[in-house]
Structure formats: structure tokens, C-alpha cells
């Protein structure tokens, strides 16, 4: 499958560039940590101890950190018109979307792996009860968020819009993920019941719908 090879080629390119510009990635991680710390300080004591608020606050860090990652991976293409170079390659434009999506997912995973422990410690959020549930819910949600973030970062970059706009655009769209995952994890960690199927269904439906639609639409709209 030529396309798979091309996706991995482009993914390799993106990750190599991210590795070379490590300081920018470190900036995003520190921002995530800062968000969690500031909110934890703000909510000191009170009823902040516990699953629901920790997940909600982690989501704030995921959303902002994620938006910065999406912007960063797409900015690589807009510098010096590199995107036109890619568009001249004899390949389906969907390959660009998928490789960017994977690059964004790698960055989001890094973000989550760094920030989540900070949230867990500061909020005394006892993950050990169901770490797998937490990981699968957050993981599935971040895939949906990256699907939308990758599409709109491409759109925002190709129309040279200000950075803040990407966050404004993707946050409301991602609210179903935030609501479903926080409710789900509240159920699991505060009431101890198993993963609620309908909530997980919302997240999976979100992922499926927006992965396919974004992939198709990206091809229609991406231009140098």
C-alpha cells in the first residue's frame, strides 16, 4: 500500500521536526502543567478532592495544550510554503491529514502522559481503582479531539488566521467529549459502577463521525 508508506514517511518527517524543535514541545508541556497547578491552587480544599473535578481540570489542560500542538504541527507546513511542496507530491491529500493526525496524537499522548500524573498528585485523585478505564476513556476522547483539531488547524493555517481562533473553534465542538468523559469517569470513580455503555458510545460515535468527515473534507479544502 503506497499510501501507508507515504503516511509513515510524512509522520517520520513531522516527528523528526518535533524532536528537532524540542523546546517548543517543552513549552506546551509546561503550559499544561501550569494550568493544572493554577486550578489546583485555586480549588484548594473545597470539594475539589475527587474524580470529577480532577478530570475536568485535566480536560482544560488537554484542550489548551492540544490546541497548541495542532497549531504547531500545522505551522511547520505554512513556514516557507512547505505545504505546496507536499501538495505537489503524487499522493492523495487525505494522506496529509492522516499523517498530521497521527503526529498530533503522538504529541497529545506525550501531553497526557506528562500532565495526568500532575493532576492525580495535586488532586489526590486515586487512579489506581480503575486506571484502565481512565486511560481508555481519555484516550478515545483525545482521538476525537485530535480529529477535529487537525482538520481546523489545516483550515486556520491555510487562511492565515490568528492562533487563538483555533482554540475558540475546536473547544465548543469538543464539549460532547468533555461532558461524556467527565460524567463517565465520575460514575466509575465516585460511584464505583462500571463503564457506562451509552457514555462510551457518545465518545466512540464522535470519533468515528469526525474522523471520517474530517478526512473527506480536509481533502476538499486544503490548498497552498
Partner 1 sequence: MRAMLLESSIRLNTHAAAGVTDVCIRAERLGKVIDGRMVLKDLSFEVARGMIVSVLGANGAGKSTLLKLLATLTSPTSGRLELFGRPPDGARSRARIGLVGHETMLYRDLTALENVMLTARLHGVPEARARALTMLDRLGVAERAGDAVRNLSRGTAQRVAIARALVHGPDLLIADEPFTGLDVGSCGVVERVFSEFRARGGTIVMSGHDVEQALRLGEHVLLLMEGRLASSEASHRIEASNLRKRIGGRE
Partner 2 sequence: MSSSTRKLVIRAYWIVTLLVLAVGVWLSAYYAPIESEMGVIQKVFYFHLPAAFCMFGACFLVFVAGAGYLWQRDQRWDDLADAAAHVAVLLASVVLLTGMLWAKKAWGQWWTWSPRLTFSLILWLLYVVYLILRASIDSAQKRAMVCAVYGVIAFLDVPLVYLSVKLMDDIHPSSVELEPSMLLTLIVWMAGVALLTAGLVAGRFRLARISHKKSHDASGVTGGMA
209 binds, among partner 2, partner 1, none (CB under 5 to 8 A by kind): partner 2
Long-range contacts, stretch 203-207, CB < 8 angstroms, 24+ apart:
203/137, 203/140, 203/141, 203/144, 203/177, 204/140, 206/141, 206/144, 206/176, 206/177, 206/180, 207/140, 207/143, 207/144, 207/147
Indicate whether 157 belongs to the interface with partner 2 (CB under 8 A): no
Q: Quote the least distance from Cβ 158 to partner 2, whole Å.
A: 7
Please report whether residue 47 would count as binding partner 2 according to CB under 8 A: no
Q: Which is nearer to partner 2, 2 or 213 (CB)?
A: 213
Interatomic CA distance for residues 201 and 192, integer angstroms: 19
The least distance separating partner 1 from the CB of residue 159, rounded to whole angstroms, comes to 12
Binding mask 65-94 for partner 2 (x = CB under 8 A): ------------------------------
What part of residues 186-205 is at the interface with partner 2 (CB under 8 A)?
196, 198-199, 201-202, 205
Binding partner selected for residue 105 from partner 2, partner 1, none, CB under the kind-specific 5 to 8 Å limit: none
d(CA 214, CA 220): 10
Phi (first) and psi of residue 129, to 5 degrees: -60, -45
Amino acid at each position: 500500500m503506497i499510501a501507508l508508506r507515504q503516511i509513515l514517511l510524512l509522520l517520520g518527517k513531522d516527528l523528526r521536526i518535533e524532536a528537532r524543535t524540542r523546546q517548543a514541545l517543552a513549552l506546551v508541556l509546561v503550559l499544561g502543567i501550569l494550568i493544572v497547578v493554577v486550578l489546583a491552587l485555586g480549588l484548594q480544599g473545597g470539594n475539589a478532592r475527587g474524580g470529577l473535578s480532577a478530570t475536568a481540570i485535566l480536560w482544560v489542560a488537554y484542550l489548551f495544550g492540544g490546541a497548541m500542538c495542532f497549531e504547531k504541527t500545522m505551522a511547520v507546513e505554512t513556514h516557507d510554503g512547505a505545504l505546496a511542496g507536499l501538495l505537489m507530491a503524487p499522493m492523495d491529500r487525505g494522506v496529509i491529514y492522516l499523517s498530521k493526525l497521527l503526529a498530533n496524537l503522538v504529541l497529545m499522548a506525550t501531553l497526557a502522559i506528562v500532565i495526568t500524573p500532575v493532576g492525580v498528585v495535586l488532586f489526590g485523585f486515586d487512579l489506581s481503582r480503575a486506571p484502565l478505564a481512565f486511560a481508555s476513556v481519555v484516550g478515545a476522547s483525545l482521538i476525537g479531539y485530535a480529529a477535529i483539531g487537525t482538520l481546523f488547524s489545516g483550515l486556520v493555517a491555510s487562511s492565515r488566521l490568528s492562533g487563538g481562533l483555533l482554540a475558540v473553534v475546536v473547544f465548543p465542538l469538543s464539549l460532547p467529549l468533555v461532558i461524556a468523559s467527565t460524567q463517565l469517569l465520575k460514575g466509575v470513580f465516585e460511584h464505583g459502577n462500571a463503564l457506562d455503555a451509552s457514555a462510551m458510545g457518545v465518545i466512540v460515535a464522535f470519533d468515528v463521525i469526525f474522523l471520517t468527515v474530517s478526512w473527506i473534507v480536509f481533502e476538499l479544502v486544503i490548498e497552498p
